[in-house]
Amino acid sequence: MTAKILTKRRAAAVAGGALLALSPLVTQTAVAAQPEPTVTAQGAALMDGDSGETLYGKDADTVRPMASTAKIMTAYVVLDKGPDLDRQVPVKQEYRDYVTQHSTSTADLQTGDKLTVRQLLYASLLPSGADAGYALADTFGIGATSEERAESFVDQMNAKADELYLPKTEFDSFDGVGTDSSTPTELAKLAQHAMTNDTFRTVVATKQYKGEAPAANGRTRYYTWNNTNQLLGSYDGVIGIKTGTTTPAGECLVFAATREDKTLVGTVLNSTDRYGDAAKILDYGFGTDTAKDMKLRKLPANAQRD
């Protein structure tokens, strides 16, 4: 396995309308009588989850590393295929070796266990398991080897970014361990599209998942995965979505919240207080003042951090 799963670089823009723009126009709108929040994030964006209108931005069109928020696209590509979510996928030792090689977060999948595609989505999006991400890429990619299939899956991620008209978004891994990058605005757009899928929406709104899988020895393995997104359960109305942390990217968060009939989707990239930043931005969008009283949901001591 190479240090990174690389893919051919795409052109930054495609002329002549070759790409279908699902949200070609983004309108900047102001939130009345509400001062813009001051956040620690280097880049941030907030949009209306239904209309796609931009409500707030800070260097929102600047390309930055996205870390494990790349797994949003991993899940979206899989779900867009309309897969059999109950299909069983055997866990390969290669998936565990990949985690060790890259020192990434893990769902601690055990070699020989058989997990369903649905379970792998939980394992990838809640504890941010790179082993689960690899299993999905290996299962839905094309090629003679696991590495080839993973590389082709990353190509599919980039093709989907083109389809969604995200010209500044580029993936070179299935889990964000590479130089995967996007802008706050484009990452929010991606999240907006992903949240239209019922399964994705259910998974990212889950604080803790408990499940079982057939083990290699014929017995039953029990798994528990906690959602690394501590904004979930801490800020009223939050329904997801995904954390991400690497040294180049800093702390990142893609988030969504619904209050009454209003849904907001946002991103913070390279933050030193991602949950506080997100809460302030959501307050701005909702016209409320609750961030200052927020108390973060605590994760179990043995939970993954991302």
| Residues tagged active-site | 68, 71, 128
DSSP output for the chain: --SS---PPPPS--STT-S--SS----B-PPTT-PPPP-S-SEEEEEETTT--EEEEESTTS-EE-GGGGHHHHHHHHHHT---TT-EEEPPHHHHHHHHHHT-----PPTT-EEEHHHHHHHHHSS--HHHHHHHHHHHS-SSSHHHHHHHHHHHHHHHHHHTT-TT-B-SSSSS-SS-EE-HHHHHHHHHHHTTSHHHHHHHT-SEEEEEEE-TTSSEEEEEEE-S-TTTTTSTTEEEEEEEEETTTEEEEEEEEEETTEEEEEEEEEESSHHHHHHHHHHHHHT---GGG--PPPPPTTS---
